[in-house]
Amino acid sequence: MSFACWIKSLLMFSPVCSLALFLHSPSLLLKLCMNRILVIICSSLIAIGCAQDDGSKRALEDENDSLIVENARLKEINDSLSALLRVKDRSSVMPAPDTAAPAPPPPRPPADSTGPIREGNHALTLQWISWDRPGQATIKAIGNGKYSIRGAQRSRENDDYLKIDGTLTPVNEKELVFEGTVEYKVSHNNGGQPCVKKGPLHFKATGNRKYWRMQEMTNCEGGLLTDYVDIYF
């Protein structure tokens, strides 16, 4: 052991020795004391630094624990809000229960309820058979402005007849276009043979008359022989 270390040890444990050293060599004692003071200061600073480090570490650990707790609480709140939003979305998508009785479907309008021709049964005549005892033709709307017509007139005296079967398309209230067949037989006309006329044929109401008359009036026999085929309003 060196002389300085030996002297330092004496200063740490014996005030008497420190006094003796002061009397023997004051400068050496002062130097040793300064060294001792420096050692104490450095030790104190190190201790303070360690204490501060420990305090900071504990503070950081406490802050981290608080953040973990806060994060868990926010996660619970977020999960609750997400569940509420899912319930709201399902309720907005699902239709409300319909407790009222279903409304009946609207009545289906006639095929052509605003047309110029009345649907139903109409009188039908050929003057050679009779004007007083008309036959009957049934007219029905079939859509697209068209009407079906089918009917006949038959003589009570013989086998003379008038038959009509086809469709009518109104041009206006006074004029109709017929597609189909008009056939009639009169015993004293055309040699007693049927006269057949195919459409298009034209029926027209003139003046104040309440019927449409076929405009193709010439009998199949020809000449001046005229046939009046009438459909009454």
125 touches 134 (CB < 8 A): yes
CATH at 168: 2.40.128
pLDDT digits over 119-160, tens only?
999 999 999 999 999 999 999 999 999 999 999 999 999 999
157 touches 169 (CB < 8 A): no
- Is 98 among the domain residues? no
* Mean pLDDT, residues 97-102 taken together: 48
Do 131 and 216 lie in one domain? The reply is: yes
Check residues 153 and 14 and name the one with the higher pLDDT: 153
22 band by pLDDT with thresholds 50, 70 and 90: very low
* Mean pLDDT, residues 86-111 taken together: 49
Tell me: pLDDT of 223 over 80. yes
* Nearest one of 108, 144, 126 to 189, comparing CA atoms: 126
Whole-prediction pTM = 0.51
Lookup: tokens for 111: 């095929």
- Is 225 among the domain residues? yes
- Is 70 among the domain residues? yes
Check residues 177 and 43 and name the one with the higher pLDDT: 177
- The total domain count for the chain is 2
| Per-residue pLDDT, 46 | 61
- Is 147 among the domain residues? yes
The helix or strand, by DSSP H or E, that contains position 24, with its residue range, turns out to be helix 15-24
Give the residue numbers spanning the domain of 210: 120-232
The helix or strand, by DSSP H or E, that contains position 138, with its residue range, turns out to be strand 135-143
Do 66 and 129 lie in one domain? The reply is: no
Do 192 and 136 lie in one domain? The reply is: yes
**Residue 45, C-beta contacts closer than 8 angstroms, at least 6 positions apart:** none
d(CA 142, CA 179): 14
Point out the domain boundary residue: 68, 89, 110: 89
